[in-house]
């Protein structure tokens, strides 16, 4: 017998990925795409320099915070989000979105957590009563010396 709860929850995760909410620049894209999105979305943008990357923090009108991590090569190597709404994952993941969708289809989702670990893409996402949080990163693009745990 099919576990109905797991099927429903997997459907919710998939639907959340397709909901057209406000988002930010895409993984693997250049830094100027972060700045353009911030202006277009009327989001406040704060940039903080770290030794191996720059952190671009956007406060979206929905209240969701989106962090984008830009390496010294000028490209977004990770994104993280937290807030009352999910970002538009199609826009946030860019060319990696189809990889994400394929991985979600083949994975049984728990009621509050989703983890995808592939060679080219890692996604960790969770939810709890109108609170969404997660991150996605490109393992091959994370600068040497950056602790993955910092990417929040």
Q: Give me the pLDDT at residue 136, please.
A: 96
User: What sign results for the dihedral spanned by CA atoms 22, 26, 27, 32?
Assistant: negative
State pLDDT tens for residues 26-35.
Answer: 899 888 766 6
104, 114 Cβ separation under 8 angstroms: yes
Positions in the chain short of pLDDT 50: 1-24
Q: Give me the pLDDT at residue 65, please.
A: 92
Q: Give me the pLDDT at residue 148, please.
A: 92
Token reading at 145: 């010396």
Interatomic CA distance for residues 130 and 127, integer angstroms: 7
Q: Give me the pLDDT at residue 149, please.
A: 92
Q: Give me the pLDDT at residue 97, please.
A: 92
58, 125 Cβ separation under 8 angstroms: no
User: What sign results for the dihedral spanned by CA atoms 107, 128, 126, 131?
Assistant: positive
Q: Give me the pLDDT at residue 19, please.
A: 38
Residue from 144, 146, 123, 142 nearest 134 by CA = 123
121, 136 Cβ separation under 8 angstroms: yes
| DSSP for 9-77, written as a single string | HHHHHHHHHHS-----PPTT-BHHHHHHHHHHTT-EEEEEE-SSEEEEEEE-TTS-EEEEEEETTSBEE
68, 94 Cβ separation under 8 angstroms: no
């Amino acid at each position: 017998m099919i576990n109905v709860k797991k099927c429903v929850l997997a459907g919710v995760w998939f639907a959340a990925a397709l909901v057209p909410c406000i988002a930010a620049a895409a993984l693997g894209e250049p830094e100027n795409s972060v700045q353009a999105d911030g202006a277009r979305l009327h989001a406040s943008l704060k940039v903080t320099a770290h030794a191996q990357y720059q952190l671009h923090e956007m406060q979206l009108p929905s209240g969701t915070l989106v962090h984008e991590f830009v390496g010294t090569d000028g490209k977004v190597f990770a994104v993280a989000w937290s807030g009352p709404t999910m970002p538009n994952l199609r826009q946030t993941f860019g060319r990696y979105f189809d990889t994400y969708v394929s991985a979600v289809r083949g994975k049984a989702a728990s009621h509050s957590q989703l983890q995808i670990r592939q060679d080219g893409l890692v996604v960790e996402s969770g939810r709890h009563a109108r609170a969404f949080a997660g991150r996605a990163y490109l393992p091959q693009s994370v600068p040497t010396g950056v602790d993955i745990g910092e990417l929040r």
